[in-house]
Structure 1
Amino acid sequence: MRRTFLKTVAAAAGLAALGLGSAASAQSAAEFYKDNVIKWIVPYDPGGGYDEYSRMLAPYFEKYTGARVDIVNMPGSGGMKGAVEIFNSPNDGTYIGIINGSAMVTNQLAQIEGANYKVGQYEYLGRMVADPRVMVVSALSGIESFEDMMNNGRPEIVGATGLGGSTYVDAVIIGDAFGIDQRVVHGFDRSGDIRTAMLRGDVQAMWGSLGSALKGIESGDHKVILHAEKEDRPELGGAPSIYDVAKTTENPERATKILRSWEALNAVGRPVAAPPGIPEDRLAFLREAFAASMNDAEFVSQMEEAGRDLLYASGEEMSEIAKAATELEPDIEALFVRAIRGEI
């Protein structure tokens, strides 16, 4: 069963559907958006998760802004084309969009060609969701716990998609932090292909989102042996947190530094962003409208029915998360760049 995690937003509770805020500047912003058009850029093709999240939220964003929301799909370069378009759009507050935040961070850090944006400089409305990360093993592997994996005296095969992808970066970063004896095999087209290889016994373990792992966990095909949550959840089966494991390493301080940066990378998730420099009153208005939309009971219910997780973060929180994910200490940044480029 999918779960929805939303923060209580005090501002959202007192917002009227068509009159967010009472200050003169907010009223001016409300007048600006009434009957205006907001272009919402989705950096992927129609029909995918980013598109579905955007289209399901759009009617509620229209409700709380008074504007019409036009969804514009702009696929290309693994989400970078749309992210660049948002960053370089007119900054009058009528251009926004959802981005693959974690991928945009890794592209920026590794200076991938075409990454002509700065993740820390977007104006963020907030985040829709971030996927909790877990390491799962196959039931065929004979591994019952992370301790088993560390002490069984053999390297385990960990599956991953392409170099620089989240499943690969997760594996090599955590492997480096904890000294895991593993062989990361990359090149799978999709995460589903890795899970198929696990069912055949060709691969013993993989990293991924908890949401994508739930089916295998519930069927008994997979078992969580490590996770990145700070609080236990029933789906995790009592597996240890990376933060608990970090305390047992030879260099807990280094391991913790790596994990904090990795956590920030994953916490970026799927935010809604605007180009830098939009007027402050319009940004405040959009952030309030986004918070109200994300906390609208009807929207939350529809997302639960669609099996789509929500994990709201405010625009202000997202700005801090983006900075934490991109402003790294030199040694940690070098490690991440090597991981992203497939040099580990």
Structure 2
Amino acid sequence: MTATGVVKRLDEVVDDFARRARFFREPMTPGRARTFVRQHRLNTRQRNSVLKLRVATNCPIWDLRVRIIAACAEEVIADHAHGGGRPHWQILEELGTRIGLGLDEIRAAEPLPSTLMCWHAWDGLMSNRHWLEGLVANTCAERVNVPGYGIGLVREQGWFGMERDRWGKLFGLSDDQLEFFGLHTEADIAHSNLGWHAVADHAARLGMEDAAVEACRVNLIVWARHAARNHELSARVLVEEQRVDRGFLDALARRHDAVVDQEERGPVGERTRHRSAERRRHDEIARLGEARNVGRHEVGALVHDRPQRHVERREDRGGNRVRVDDAVDLGPGPEDLGVDEHLAVTRQPAAEHFPVQVDQQELLRADLLESEPRGLHPEGVRAGDAGGGVAPDVVPLPGGSEHAARFREPALQRDLSRSAPCLRRLLHGLASWSGIDGPLLYCQALLGWRRMKRLPLLAVLVALASTVPAQAQSRFFEGKTIRIVVGFSPGGGYDTYSRTIARHMSRHIPGNPTIIVENMTGAVSLLAANHTYKVARPDGLTIVNFHGNQVVGQLLGREGIEFDARRFKYVGVPMRDSAACALTKASGVTTLEQWRSAKTPVKIGAVGPGDTSHDVGRVLQATVGLPIQLVRGYKGTAEIRLAAESGEVAGGCWQWESIKSTWRKALEGGEVSIVLQMAPKPLADLPNVPVALSLAKTDEARQLMQAGIVVPTAISRLYALPPGTPDDRVQTLRKAFLDTLRDPELLADAGRAKLEIDPIGGEETERLVAELFKLDPDVAAKLKGILR
């Protein structure tokens, strides 16, 4: 099982849980919402100030430990990335006051008995297990909150996205008042991506794939109890509704009983005092469980369970019982130690008590697979027999000599044996390097034996060598994880495009790698672009999705840009966008003529420099002389729409595809009109709307529009690889990107999500970017002044 494979298995567990979880489908009530505020505030503080720090304490990897601590600090001290400098429990308090709770009431809330029980169970999962299992236990609890799992609205918006809509309808709150859910989703995506990457990196190395998956499954049992109907699901419901294996619970119970039995056999003194404390703790938890029809075994097992170990006991010839481990030995268990020593061992840092044996030769072979061709040496041909003759050649395959022996073809080998030995070795070397199961079988399938026998050896070599790049890419991408780093928040247009592409693109990449989406918000996607350019490894496994206006930003010398757009390796653009200006009927401006003759500037909402909503207004103001007053500072187009509907602004200018998708009802009802479009020619669905380029009176004005609006908008949804990415991987991903965007399954998916598909390939994207940097220096200087 590869590291990527274990992430797939974890995703399947989370997805299955999200599909079956009852509380996703239960109605929201005021009482349930208020209980959520009280208990989630307590839970956030407990998990991030106590429980997750247990994992950090056990983790021997410094960088990962620091990241875990940083994530905890965001939740309980100050989150500048996803909370405006406020901790999440404080944002939740503000939400609670909007649904009828007082601050004193929220802060005086006590944990429900079932919440206490869950804390004890989580303490066992995060303290008494291997740090990787603890990391999984925490991460999968965050993963169930984000989009991409389950069905329906849960899959599209994530749990908190769905809750935002339900709370808005129940309490009549706006999106701004419900910011907790959006911010929490962003944080959960960022934190769970961190955890998932750590699992992908370390699970295979530690030999803990199965243990990681089991930790995820056990944690979701606890998570269900915490989240569902005030945490009152019984063990019976967990078995029946969540399809949890009853035998698994029984196995946990037996393990717990073994610990308790060992306690009973302990001597008096310190061990007795420890036993009494542990027994009191266990009895207290068991009573809490019995009050809610949860058996002693289920609760106790979850609390006291330790790292999953696959241990078999056998007797040797002398009748002595010995242990045979079929996985990495994770240290002595309760059957080997008294309970004091057992608890001491399981609470020690993993580096000391969870040894890992690594085959150095295996690592060396793995490195060679990705760094240089294998098989281009004399050992690629088997030595002759004792008589000195040439034995039938065997292609050196990873499966070993028995596997390779099946590919002998004496008839053709007689022909090859007459050729120069170096060519014969090259043929076998190419086959070994490319991963083809024998060049002979490959050529037979491609050409047929009769035809192939008549071909010169050079032709055979050419046919085989032509397949090497694709086979090499398959070997590289197989078992890997590709990250699409989106520079905008979850749920928006950029994020939706990326998640739709990620669901389908793997099928079109040789080796079928896993593809995940991460959100790195900030500065209109500038943070994501800078990070990918400066930090991401140029190995073809990181794709950034950022705003095309940032390319213009570099051209104009905008502050904060730390990349050279000409050095990115562009994968393509899923939708050739065009901007349009939409104004409300209430503003009194519904045509271009009314706008041009307006006696006072028309207020246009904008995000800020570098965003289409800002740059379009500035360029139109400078080139066409439209009376415009830009109102900047909105967080996104959703806020601009709300401001327009409330009369704060008249409307805004941004991507037409976004406008017609998100403002569809207002457009159809005549409450909003499209007054101007920024396409090179009229769009098919806007045939009668004026085109801005036609209003330009000078060549300079047309250049300013082209460089400031038309091209940046066309490539606004850029997908790019870091500089230095190998050309063969760039070409593989460019082809896969276009193939994905022509895939009928993706097109059907995009249709359901109201996403338009009109792709631009990587080569054309690269050309458009290069053309921007050919802009006349004087025009560029003027554009810089306009877009300041």
Q: TM-score under structure 1 normalisation?
A: 0.82
Q: Looking at CA atoms only, which structure, 1 or 2, has the larger radius of gyration? A: 2
Partner of 1:180: 626
Shift in Å at residue 298 of structure 1?
A: 0.4
1:57 to 501, 522, 532: 501
Cα distance in structure 2, aligned partners of 1:183 and 1:175: 9
- Identify which of 679, 682, 701 aligns with 1:232: 682
Report the AA paired with residue 468 of structure 2: A
What is the alpha-carbon distance in structure 2 between the residues aligned to residue 72 and residue 196 of structure 1?
27
1:35 matched to 2:479? The reply is yes
Cα distance change of structure 1 residues 192 and 245 upon mapping to structure 2, 3 Å threshold = same
Shift, 1:264, TM fit: 1.3
| Pairing 1:217–2:667 present | yes
Q: Give, in angstroms, the shift of residue 265 of structure 1.
A: 1.5
- What CA distance in whole angstroms lies between the structure 2 residues aligned with 1:202 and 1:47? 25
Q: 1:38 to 1:185 in 2, by over 3 A?
A: closer
C-alpha separation in 2, matches of 1:204 and 1:339: 22
Partners of 2:473 and 2:729 within 8 A in 1: yes
Counterparts in 2 of 1:201 and 1:297: CA distance versus 1, 3 Å: same
**2:701 corresponds to which of 249, 255, 280:** 255
Residues 106, 340 of structure 1: 8 Å contact kept: no
Deviations along 1:49-77, one digit per CA (max 9) or x if unpaired, are 33332222123221111222233333344
Choose from 241, 252, 264 the match for 2:711.
264
Question: 1:154: which partner in 2?
Answer: 599
Gap runs ≥5 in structure 2: 1-464
The Cα offsets for residues 206-263 of structure 1, whole Å up to 9 and x where unpaired, read as 31221333223222112112112234346426111112222xx3xx212211122121
> C-alpha displacement at 1:134, in angstroms?
0.8
Choose which of 725, 739, 763 in structure 2 pairs with 1:278.
725
Question: Which amino acid in 1 is paired with 2:730?
Answer: L
Which residue is 2:740 aligned to?
Answer: 293
Give the deviation of 1:153 after TM superposition.
5.6
Matched, 1:311 2:739: no
1:320 is aligned to 2:748: no
Whether 2:747 is the aligned partner of 1:331: answer no
Question: After superposition, where does 1:111-122 map in structure 2 within 5 Å?
Answer: 111-122=557-568
Any residues of structure 2 matched to 1:75-224 within 5 Å, and which? 75-88=521-534, 89-102=536-549, 104-150=550-596, 152=597, 154-164=599-609, 165-214=611-660, 215=664, 216-224=666-674
Go from structure 1 to structure 2 and tell me whether the alpha carbon gap of 1:282 and 1:179 turns closer, same or farther (over 3 Å shift): same
CA 200–70 in structure 1, closer or farther in 2 if over 3 Å, else same: closer
Deviation (angstroms), 1:47: 3.5
Match of 1:244 among 674, 682, 694: 694
CA distance in 1 between counterparts of 2:727 and 2:635 reads 42
CA 1:219–1:237: 2 relative to 1, 3 Å: farther
- The CA deviation string for residues 76-95 of structure 1, in whole angstroms up to 9 with x for no partner, is 44322221222132222222
CA–CA distance in 1 between the matches of 2:517 and 2:651? Answer: 38
Q: 2:772 corresponds to which letter in structure 1?
A: A
Report the CA distance between 1:113 and its aligned residue. 4.1
| Distance of 1:143 and 1:170 partners within structure 2 | 18
Q: Which residue of 2 aligns with 1:10?
A: none
Contact conserved, 1:38 with 1:94, CA < 8 A, in 2? yes
The one-letter amino acid paired with 2:582 is: V
Please state how far the C-alpha of 1:156 moved relative to its aligned partner: 3.0
Q: Is the 8 A contact 2:576 2:760 kept in 1?
A: no
Conserved? CA contact 1:42–1:73, under 8 Å:
yes
Note if contact 2:583-2:652 (Cα within 8 Å) is conserved in structure 1.
yes
Equivalent residue of 2:720, what SS?
A: strand
- Deviation per CA, 1:275-300, whole angstroms, max 9, x where unpaired? 11222222111111111111101001
State the Cα distance separating 1:306 from its structure 2 match: 1.0
**For residues 635 and 518 of structure 2, what CA distance do their matches in structure 1 show?**
26
**SS of aligned partner of 1:93:** coil
How much has 1:25 moved relative to structure 2?
2.5
* Contact kept? 1:131, 1:210, Cα under 8 Å: yes
Q: How many residues align?
A: 315
Q: Is the 8 A contact 1:267 1:321 kept in 2?
A: no
Work out the CA distance in 2 between the residues paired with 1:290 and 1:188: 32
**For the residues of structure 2 that align with 1:45 and 1:195, how far apart are their CA atoms?**
17
What SS is found at the alignment partner of 2:724? coil
More helix as a share of residues: 2
SS in structure 1 at match of 2:725: coil
SS of the residue corresponding to residue 310 of structure 1 reads coil
1: distance between equivalents of 2:482 and 2:772?
28
Return the TM-score normalized by structure 2: 0.38
- The code of the aligned residue for 2:480 comes to N
8 Å Cα contact 1:225/1:240 also seen in 2: yes
Q: Which moved more, 1:21-30 or 1:287-296?
A: 21-30
More strand by share: 1
Q: CA deviation at 1:31?
A: 2.7
Gaps of 5+ in 1: 1-20
Structure 2: distance between partners of 1:181 and 1:207: 14
Identity of counterpart residues, as a percentage? 24
